[in-house]
Structures are given as structure tokens and as C-alpha cells.
Amino acid sequence: MPAEIERKFLVKGDAWRSLATGIAYSQGYIVSTEGRTVRVRVVGEQGYLTIKGATSGITRAEFEYPIPVDDALEMQHTLCDPPLIQKKRHKIEYAGLVWEVDEFEGENQGLIVAEVELEDVKQTIALPDWIDREVSDDPRYFNANLVKHPFSEWVKEL
């Protein structure tokens, strides 16, 4: 079974900005319940349908399929719960791994999160100096939860 092993961190400062150009992403959730999500994403001229299982630590089942962009856009506008997640993703190579820095827009503006996918849950990683604290275990930072409870609603608590 395909699995996603991912660690998630907050980002500090602006040093990362000069390392990559961002690409616009929009994504919505057809299903978002405890234990499973069905996501529709548009990246450029490509659509994706992604099904994810329950998170266990930093691992979960993930199945992703390319779909026509017109189908993805139609699903986002007719089947997904609002609001859509809008973000720019910057891919940055560091110490042999690709870090994905997501700069959120809209109701989640101000949130910048870096994710890194791993081969093994025990894999050690070198952290770039623009990485702040780890939030892998904090469900508030899951994209599916940012639809239900946008960053703008809870940022004052941080």
C-alpha cells in the first residue's frame, strides 16, 4: 500500500524565499472525516484526486491520481466544502531531501509551513536554519482542518 511519511514544521524568517519560485496550488476536500480524506487539487494545468487514510504518527496511506484539470475545477466548485485552500508551494532541495514550503493565502494567509517526505519514520534529517518548531502532531496544521478552522481564526492563540 502506498504510504506518505511526512514531517511538518513552521517556517521562520525569509531566507527560504530566494531558494525557489512558488507554484500556485488550489485544493478542496470532497470528504474530510477522521480517518480519511478525499482531496481535489489543481497545480498549473493538471488536476489530481487524492485519497488519504488515517494518520498514525507521521504516516498514512495515500493514493494520488492525475485527472483532467477541467474535471478537477468542476469538482472543486461543485463537490468541495468551501473555502478552497489556496497556497504557493516552493520546492527547496536541502541535504538530499526536497522540502515543500507552503505559503498560504486567503483565510489562511500568514501561515507558512514546510513539509518533508521521508523514506522511513526513523530517518534522520538535517534541518535548514529557516525551520522553526515541528507541528507534525498538531492537527490544526493539516490542510483538511484549515478548511474547517482557518488559520485566521486561531492565529491569535499562538
Catalytic residue (choose from 29, 48, 65, 141): 29
Q: What is the mean pLDDT of each run of 10 residues along the chain (158 residues)?
A: 89 96 96 93 97 91 97 98 96 97 96 96 95 96 94 76
As for how many domains the chain has, the answer is: 1
The maximal CA–CA distance of the chain, rounded, in angstroms, is 42
CATH code of 120's domain: 2.40.320.10
**Cα-based distances in Å from 18 to 14, 22, 112:** 8, 10, 15
For residue 37, the enclosing domain spans: 3-157
| pLDDT for residue 68 | 98
Task: Please state, in angstroms and rounded to a whole number, the distance separating the CA atoms of residues 158 and 156.
Answer: 6
Q: Indicate the Cα dihedral angle 14, 10, 134, 131, nearest 10°.
A: -10
Tell me whether residue 48 is one of the annotated catalytic residues: no
DSSP-based three-state secondary structure for 75:
helix
| pTM, rounded to two decimals | 0.92
Of the CA atoms within 13 Å of residue 122, those in its CB half-sphere come to 0
| pLDDT for residue 155 | 66
Q: Indicate the Cα dihedral angle 6, 92, 104, 113, nearest 10°.
A: 40
| pLDDT for residue 10 | 98
